[in-house]
Amino acid sequence: MQNIYAAKRCKLILATAGALLCGTFARAQSVQLPYQYQFYQKFNADVYSTSNNIHTAFKPLLIDSSLTARYDSLMNYGADTNRRGWVYRKLFREHLFDVRKEDYTFYADYLPDLTIGRDFKSKESTWLNTRGFQIGGTIGTKFSFYTSGFENQGRFAPYIDDYVRSTRMIPGQAYDRKGGLEQTKDWSYVTAVISYTPIKQLNFTLGQDKNFIGDGYRSLLLSDYATNYPFFRGTLTLGPIQYTAMWAYMQDRQAPKFDTYGDNRRKWAAFHYIDWTISNRASLGFFNAYIASEADDEGNRRGFDVNFINPVFFASSMGPSSQPGNSIAGFNGKYKFLNKHAVYAQLVLDRVQGREGKAITSKGWQAGVRGADLFGVQNLNYLAEYNTAQPYTYTGAQRMSGYTAFSEPLAHPFGANFKEALGIINYSVGRFDLQGKMIYAKYGVDEAGTDDNFGKNILRGFNGDLIPGTETGQGINTTLKYAEGTVGFILNPRYNLKLEIGGIYRQRSNRLGTSNTAMFSIGLRSSFRNLYSDF
């Protein structure tokens, strides 16, 4: 009973903080730079310059002196407020509400995301109707807050619709209120973050949001693919060393329930990351995570072990006796081989313990190259990346100890048992944003109607007696080809409001058949967040 009350108190504190607050874009060092892949590419020339040794792996980044000038230039592009009327400025130059005082700042915006599209293969129409908001500000130079919320309805291409039906989740956003059974989906999505920097070297962040570790498009350690979750994060920076400890409270809507507390089964997660900038060119990071459910599948509660919140690196991953779970370790590194150009890599190791006492060690790795101002063309950015993870990586002994949040992977969206090569190029010129992406992947899926677990679906608890093998791609060998292109025209840089047209071609094939998607869309879009459809 005490554990239930403790969990209730923790949840109440997070919910209250989130309702009252969250993040901003000003000049205080407590301010987060909201993470969206395409938006972050506009900072590549500064982030990957050999003239600095800033820590780039853990995102969102904090806006410091090395990023302020670039951020201000992006937010004030084409500003001519003295020669335009109030309506014009609010639509195309400023926040809807914008207060800037010596001791505090405050802003608020309406965020529309309205698109229509057509999948020419299935001959079905798609659309998205999102009404959102963002509110942010600063108090002094040490405290910032930000919150955003989105109310959504939409219809998707058939492959996304299939995903929602199986997971009951809108990819990377929230659960579908209609349970994925109807063609029109309905969901809400809310973030809230407060950030406090008492001294330059120390930052505390409390919120309901996402985090990302790495320098690539994907992350094999921690990505922003899964839906947001409540967390508390502390970051200490001492010269070339930056240490981050984070604790999160996660749920699973589909796991079998055994109590009436809340809507979902619950679990705790602890993350530690040490980033060492060896020089202006090289950095090396060390990562570990530990996932432990509040109770096993039979409803036996384990109690909360205080060792779980030990901030010492790897301490919680030793496996507290009263809190058995899933421990993951990894490495992250980059090297700037030229000014504005870097190679990067990740390695993840997961000791998978089965129900019958058997165990295997699965691993995954990433290698990539990226850069800015390609061929001397300003704001022309590129990325080429390879990712792979062996079967059963990220899988727990039971569903609740898997490396997931709300039925979605916390690392790569494919889960495990895959190989992937991808390339992205984007270019910003004036108010235009252009991006192209190509993905080629192979993975193995389970045979429907059997108990065999081939290792891709990390929601399936691992049973040592059911290992068909350990070859990546085992199971029904599947090939995925994906291409996407977008062209956007920015109307208001303050909240990334843009007119955007885009196209997607996707082909998924195996011995059971082939599914094709060829889709075109156009819309009015805004906000700083990643919305994934490339899985």
Which residues fall within 8 angstroms of residue 199, CB to CB, at 6 or more apart?
A: none
- pLDDT in the model for residue 151: 97
pLDDT, residue 463, reads: 61
CA angle 307, 308, 313 (to 5 degrees): 90
Q: What is the mean pLDDT of residues 197-205?
A: 93
Q: Would you state the pLDDT for residue 256?
A: 73
Task: Number of helices (H) and strands (E) in the chain: give both, helices first.
Answer: 6, 25
CA 475 → CA 303, 364, 451, 463, distances in Å? 38, 18, 12, 16
pLDDT of residue 532: 94
Average pLDDT over residues 28-54: 89
pLDDT-based confidence at residue 21 (cuts at 50, 70, 90)? very low
> Does residue 470 sit in helix, strand or coil?
coil
The average pLDDT across 506-517 equals: 96
Amino acid at 178: K
Confidence of residue 262 (pLDDT cuts 50, 70, 90): low
Predicted local confidence at residue 2, as pLDDT: 35
Q: Which of 113-122, 253-262, 525-534 has the lowest mean pLDDT?
A: 253-262
What are the residues facing 442 on neighbouring strands?
419, 479
pLDDT of residue 352: 74
Please tell me the number of Cα atoms within 13 Å of 202 on its side-chain side.
2
Cβ atoms of residues 517 and 123 within 8 Å: no
What's the pLDDT score for residue 514?
96
Q: Across residues 124-134, what is the average pLDDT? A: 96
Angle at 441 between CA 440 and CA 443, to 5 degrees: 165
Calculate the average pLDDT of the chain: 87
**Amino acid sitting at position 117:** G
Q: What is the pLDDT of residue 51?
A: 93
Q: What is the pLDDT of residue 310?
A: 67
pLDDT in tens, 145-156: 999 999 999 999
Cβ atoms of 157 and 521 closer than 8 Å: no
Query: DSSP string of 283-348?
Result: EEEEEEEEEEESB-TT--B----GGGG--STTTGGG--TTS--EEEEEEEEEEEEETTEEEEEEEE
**From 125-139, 312-326, 384-398, 433-447, the region with the lowest mean pLDDT:** 312-326
Q: In the predicted model, what is the mean pLDDT of residues 404-417?
A: 95
The pair of structure tokens assigned to 82 is 């003295």
Determine the residue type at 251: Q
Query: What per-residue confidence (pLDDT) applies to 3?
Result: 39
Backbone angles phi, psi at 41, to 5 degrees: -65, -25
Task: Pick the closest to residue 149 from 206, 110, 180 (CA basis).
Answer: 110
The pLDDT of residue 179 is 77
Query: Which helix H or strand E contains 140, and what residues bound it?
Result: none
Alpha carbon distances (Å) from 367 to 216, 218, 284, 336: 8, 10, 14, 14
Question: What pLDDT band is residue 303 in, cutting at 50, 70 and 90?
Answer: low
List % helix, strand, coil for the chain (3-state, nearest 5). Answer: 15, 50, 35
Q: Can you read off the two tokens belonging to residue 233? A: 């994060």
Pairing of strands 497-510, 476-492: antiparallel
Q: How far apart are CA 54 and CA 72, in angstroms?
A: 19
pLDDT digits (tens, 9 = 90+) for 430-474: 999 999 999 999 999 998 877 788 989 998 877 655 565 678 999
Cβ count near 531 (within 10 Å): 15
Task: Flag whether pLDDT at 383 surpasses 70.
Answer: yes
pLDDT at residue 84, as a whole number: 74
Local confidence band at 360 (pLDDT 50, 70, 90 cut-offs):
confident
Q: State how far the Cα of 248 lies from the Cα of 110, in Å rounded to an integer.
A: 29
Q: Which residues, 6+ apart, have CB-to-CB distance to 448 below 8 Å?
A: none
Average pLDDT of 340-346? 98
Residues 249-267 have a mean pLDDT of 76
Query: Phi-psi bin for 470: left (phi > 0), alpha (psi -120 to 50), beta?
Result: alpha
Q: What is the pLDDT of residue 120?
A: 95
Exposure string over 47-73, b if 16+ CB within 10 A, otherwise e = bbbeebbbbbbbbbbbbbebbeebbee
Tokens 């659309």 belong to residue: 127
Place of tokens 């779970």: 325
In the predicted structure, residue 351 carries a pLDDT above the cut 90: no
| pLDDT tens for each residue of 476-491 | 999 999 999 999 999 9
Determine the pLDDT at residue 173: 93
Prediction pTM value: 0.90
**Average pLDDT for residues 393-411, to the nearest whole number?**
90
Of the pLDDT bands very low, low, confident and very high (cuts 50, 70, 90), residue 314 is: low
Of the chain, the percentage scoring pLDDT greater than 90 comes to 66
**pLDDT above 50 (res 72):** yes
Of the two residues 82 and 3, the one the predictor is more confident about is 82
Paired tokens of 302: 């384990």
Q: What is the pLDDT of residue 14?
A: 37
Does the pLDDT at position 16 exceed 60?
Answer: no
Phi, psi values for residue 61, rounded to 5°: -80, 155
Select from 243, 231, 237 the least CA-distant residue to 206. 231
